[in-house]
Amino acid sequence: MSTVLKNFIVFEGLDGAGTTTQMQLLAEACDQSDRPCKATFEPTDKPLGRLVRSILKKQIVTTPLALALLYAADREDHLHNPIYGLVQDLEAGKVVISDRYLYSSLAYQSVDCDFEKIAQLNDFPAPQYVFFLDTPIDECIRRISGRGNDVELFEHKEFLQKVKDNYERIFAELEEGVTLVRIDGLLPKEEIARQIRE
């Protein structure tokens, strides 16, 4: 992960932290300021990403390593697909804002797989900015429960504690050139958005 992709902004946090909301708010702010941008997310809505989502929804059963491989394949496609890869958007001068990226794989998949193996699978370019929405686990669980959807594979307290610990490990070793901004995930969403825009 030695390469840093300029103008690539990533939101990270536990499930329920508010990453999707903040990605959307920042994309809207870019649009309003006539700054060309692309809002995106992982897993993607492309074929590999849809397969990952089916596993998360427990519609397909597989091994933790197979899931990690699928995440990495979806990310490779997300970055470099000749039709919709985000590297092309960055090269064209757009700001790319993503709800999750490789740090999610490192944090989530390394709960059930070897951390170094997951790091090897995710040897992708780093983003310029990472906004980590630091939200207490109990609040994340409350938000997830309030969605009214079935609980996904990783959405339970014990697992999320391990994920949070992994995020701390990852952020202690971020590569040079990546700016990490931690934001209190309990703040009102408008205040979080304001801090991000600054």
What is the predicted pLDDT for the residue at 55? 94
Q: How far apart are CA 183 and CA 155, in angstroms?
A: 21
Q: Which residue range is the domain that position 43 belongs to? A: 4-197
Residue 26 maps to which CATH number? 3.40.50.300
E-strand spans in 22-150?
37-41, 95-99, 126-134
Compute how many other C-beta atoms are within 10 angstroms of the C-beta atom of residue 56.
Answer: 17
pLDDT in tens, 148-170: 666 555 567 899 999 999 999 99
Q: How far apart are CA 139 and CA 62, in angstroms?
A: 29
pLDDT in tens, 29-68: 999 999 999 999 999 999 999 999 999 988 999 999 999 9
What global pTM score does this model have? 0.93
- The residue with tokens 């427990």 is 58
Q: How far apart are CA 149 and CA 151, in angstroms?
A: 6
Domain count within the chain: 1
* Cis amide prior to 43 (ω within 30 degrees): yes
- The residue with tokens 């014990």 is 158
